[in-house]
Structure 1
Amino acid sequence: MTNVFSIGSLNMDVVYQVSALPKPGETIQSLSRKLFPGGKGANQAVAAARSGGSVWMIGAVGDDSYGEALLSALQADGIRTETVHPTEGDTGTAFITVDAHAENHIVLAAGANGRLSPSDIPEWIWGEAAMIMLQNEIPWPVNWHVLESARKRGIPVIMNAAPAMHIEEEAFPLIPILVVNETELEAISGQRVRDLADARAAAGMLIVRGVNNVLVTLGSQGSLWVAHGEEEFWTPAFRVEPVDTTAAGDTFIGAFAAEYASGAPVQQALRFASAAAAIAVTREGAQISVPRREEILHFMEQRG
């Protein structure tokens, strides 16, 4: 089995189900409140593990009950957590409001995620990692350190630029695979993205700036892969009735990483990831919604 490392956030998700998302200044009553293990780093780790990868999690949790619960959840999926650092203080949390159409608003409180530092990344991982996943819910100096170190050793990195933030020009050439949705692509490229043609043009701009491959996730419109050397292709999404889109992107990325790291061609890995994300949006919660490999393959077989 190839080792996939997720270096990123661990959050406890506090999810409020509502009829409609609140307007500015409006107070509304929630239909329910539930707690789910989450965080982009942990979600992607779970997706990769359930897709068949051998996964390690690198991150930080606080010394509270949330931290203990998050580690237990990862371990239940066979994810190695020895490299998750316990710190004093609170664990990261995400406050998520989901409406009747499965759209969501998310507010993050970094907690222990904000205390992760480059020194917390053990040197031995560079000899073990076949693939690394990064996200923007940990301090940028950690991501920069990982991108530089992985580049020197030829280790592929999937950089999920979420939440959207400014990326230094010097960092673009260090990114083998940049994953963005429409909003993140607009923020990073500076170009408006209204349709597939806009996404193609904006992704091409990031290739010119040094990124080797750009993967644009377009929700129900599928995904677009644009590579250095003008290779590109679009992968359609599977049609399902969504219930909660909270972890759809994380499921897609983790499933793609596991399949791609195992040696699957890009197009095969993208179709596999699309199926995983399609199943995830039909369920509530973040990690709890992530399907296992057997489910994904069965779903793909049924859909042809």
Structure 2
Amino acid sequence: MVRQAVQARLNADGAARSDWVYVNHFAQPDRPLALQLPAGRGTALREDMKALVRDTRTMVRTMFESEEYALELERIEGEFKQRAERAFVEIGHEAQRRGLVVVRTPVGFTVAPRKGDEVLPPEEFEALPAEQRLELQKAMAEVQERLGRALRASMRLRKEHADRVRELNRSMTRVAADHALEDIRERHADLPRVAAWLDAVAADMVEHADDFRAPAEDDEGNGAGERGDLTRYEVNLLFDATASSDDALVEADLPTVPNLVGRVDHLARFGMLMTDFRLIKGGLLHRANGGHLMIDAVKLLSQPFAGPR
């Protein structure tokens, strides 16, 4: 009788049902975002994101293999190589002018007295007049100090070079991501929360530019791993209202906590149990959203933690 009454009300009033999806919260991955979407839009967003990853991966690889990218990378490499070599050439000239030579050792560079194009043997150095030895020692200390500054500057140059290459890669990925996202943004422009999430997707894609260049699978045919893992952009469709149009009245035959509110699955990885937003599973409350959920009170109270306390 209760079921008939509820069904009659549903038939009269209808049920405004929504899709529910979980997506990655890039700023706080342990707190994924739940998005309520009009019926059918959850599936559309999921398919759009699959296409986004596929298209962006193809575009990024094509762009990084292009002649334009190779020329720009070569220009950056040449610029920093020239800047690094210039300082050492100047130090080498100063060392020669002051009767010294810069010598490469297993642990770096050092400065020694020069005899022609070779290092002055220690016994010959000791045989020099005291005044000349003092002058050479002073020159060695000064050139060695300048050499140390040049080496520290070289390390800063390497970091600057890496930053320039990284920014080049980011800019290339930004172009590809913006192009791939253009149509998706237009299709979901009427959903502010989805639009905001797509902006976060674009920013995250730029930050993880190298992931789009990684192989889709490793040598053993497994997933690409954390570095090339693009599952972060997937959409977990928790409830598809269009696939459950005749299910606005849901009965809970076994009203346990997992059956009612859903669960979070885990995967074993490297000896640990891991989870993410893709492993969130919906429950009867999600199925009944916009409709009605019928629960036998006796069954509910008989389940630990499911009923009121």
- Interval of TM-score (by shorter of Structure 1 and Structure 2): under 0.3
For normalisation by structure 2, the TM-score amounts to: 0.22
Instruction: Calculate the TM-score normalised by the size of structure 1.
Output: 0.22
Q: Which has the higher contact order (CA 8 A, sep 6+)?
A: 2
